[in-house]
Structure 1
């Protein structure tokens, strides 16, 4: 069992390191190719930090482990807006000045809620089609929002996050992006294969393994990106990244499971409902005063701990 634990941890490490370079490489490439910084911050970085969730979800689904895929996806959505946002908020109060709470946040909450409804109803081909259409619509709206707010703080914070001492060169950023993607695929394979076997040998529930080990592992890029942004005082990018990641996880990841062709075993309905509830709670806390205090951050951390017994 010890080799399985070691390989699972190795998968997590490879996943985190590779995804970080994937985010930086793809973000700098997008800027180099002339995309607006707001678009890079909301869409490109959102997809980059969600890459581990999407790759792990696809890998697990193709292996017939849709139970692990669903638990990991639901767990990641909860981790993003409780554990990661709570940790960042404890480090320093998060103040949100951009339009993210008025535009991106409602889209994120709606996406998570739609995914929850689809998961509770049974993720089949029809649900997958609905999620894909919703994803396309959400991306169109995000791009429109980005063009309508060129002076949004997220633009400056994205440029700050991607800043390098020299102008990004295609010759450097293309290999970084490709190697980051390859490492993400390798890390996902290591994590899924060994976490699945570990669950079987240890007699653990796939739901518990997915909700904890897989969810925490695939959320590491969001944690790294958020902490780096928070250290620079880029609170808007922290919130936008986490909400954008949940939107992409829910719609793209949910569609992957739905199209896998096998109906996942039912994750506890209370956990799925909690995912939607926590998403709405986080939005409400942020919107109340356009900031997240340390007390509210501690509350979000407490919510994550309180949800763990639901999957044991």
Structure 2
């Protein structure tokens, strides 16, 4: 048990550090090649911060722990729009000036709804293929609607995020950063998956419960760090775009990978926790859509919403 706990902790540390370098490297490369800032903010950074969820869930499903994999994705979706958005909103009220809540948020909501249906009826290869196709469709739609107006703050916020910390390097060095970040993410995910499965077995806890709590929180750390960095600079548009993009790709890309990589019976989760995931997604979207703001009171309510989902896990 001690060894498996150490593997979980080591996996979380390596995974978080690797994902951070993967996000920065991939984002800088995309910008160097002329990718639109909104696409970098929602797609590239959203995919990058979701890399831990993808890798951990895919490995878990391939190793026969589909419940852990599914729990990780659902738990991460809930944490992103309650715990992380709530913490960021308590630090400072979140103001969104771009059109992200009206343009990209509906894609995220639709992705979560489709994923919830697949997880309820059974996420096997057929559902995985549907979600994989939805990933392609969602990416195409985001790319086609990625238009930044003259007063849209997203381009400046993406540039500020990517240029913080270490200075940008040549394309070749950023490519190396991206590859090493991906390698660390893969290695950390392997350790975390193995350790979490052993811990669940040793404690007699269902793997889905470990996935919904410990693993989901661990794989959401890149989103948390990105949110904290963005909020410190007042970059609310990047913060919200990253969380919405992460939930979109967690649902369709992550769900598709789990379904296609799984073995045996399709993975399922119960109605209560899936309903909670859908509910917090809709509530968060409505909060943002209504006034393009998240006040401290609303942030505190999001934290309460997260606490209310915990009894549903089991």
Quickly name the TM-score band, shorter chain normalised.
over 0.9
- Matched residues in 1 for 2:269 and 2:275: separation? 10
1:70/1:166 Cα in 2 relative to 1: closer, same or farther (>3 Å)? Answer: closer
What does the per-residue CA deviation read over 1:145-164, in whole Å, with 9 as the maximum and x for residues that have no partner?
Answer: 11464753211110111126
Q: TM-score, normalised by structure 2?
A: 0.96
Q: TM-score, normalised by structure 1?
A: 0.96
Asked if 1:301 is matched to 2:303, the reply is yes
1:264/1:124 Cα in 2 relative to 1: closer, same or farther (>3 Å)? Answer: closer
| 1:68 alignment partner in structure 2 | 68
Asked if 1:32 is matched to 2:45, the reply is no
Stretch deviating more after TM superposition (182-191 or 298-307): 298-307
Give the superposition deviation at 1:126: 2.4
Asked if 1:280 is matched to 2:267, the reply is no
Give the superposition deviation at 1:113: 0.5
Asked if 1:133 is matched to 2:143, the reply is no
Give the superposition deviation at 1:262: 3.0
| 2:41 alignment partner in structure 1 | 41
Stretch deviating more after TM superposition (278-287 or 142-151): 142-151
Q: Give unpaired runs (5+ residues) of structure 1.
A: none
Asked if 1:20 is matched to 2:14, the reply is no
Stretch deviating more after TM superposition (151-160 or 217-226): 151-160
Give the superposition deviation at 1:265: 4.5
1:270/1:99 Cα in 2 relative to 1: closer, same or farther (>3 Å)? Answer: same
- SS of 1:64's equivalent in the other structure is coil
**CA RMSD, aligned part only?**
1.4
Q: Give unpaired runs (5+ residues) of structure 2.
A: none
Asked if 1:112 is matched to 2:112, the reply is yes
- Matched residues in 1 for 2:303 and 2:206: separation? 23
1:114/1:42 Cα in 2 relative to 1: closer, same or farther (>3 Å)? Answer: same
| 2:229 alignment partner in structure 1 | 228
| 1:254 alignment partner in structure 2 | 255
| 2:313 alignment partner in structure 1 | 311
| 1:266 alignment partner in structure 2 | 268
Give the superposition deviation at 1:18: 0.8
For 1:88-127, list aligned pairs within 5 A: 88-127=88-127
* Contact 1:38–1:155 (Cα < 8 Å) also in 2: yes
Give the superposition deviation at 1:77: 0.4
- Matched residues in 2 for 1:254 and 1:150: separation? 36
- Matched residues in 2 for 1:264 and 1:311: separation? 19
Matched pairs, number: 312
* Contact 2:59–2:193 (Cα < 8 Å) also in 1: yes
* Contact 1:229–1:237 (Cα < 8 Å) also in 2: yes
| 1:2 alignment partner in structure 2 | 2
| 2:80 alignment partner in structure 1 | 80
What does the per-residue CA deviation read over 1:86-116, in whole Å, with 9 as the maximum and x for residues that have no partner?
Answer: 0000000001110101111111011001100
* Contact 2:108–2:247 (Cα < 8 Å) also in 1: yes
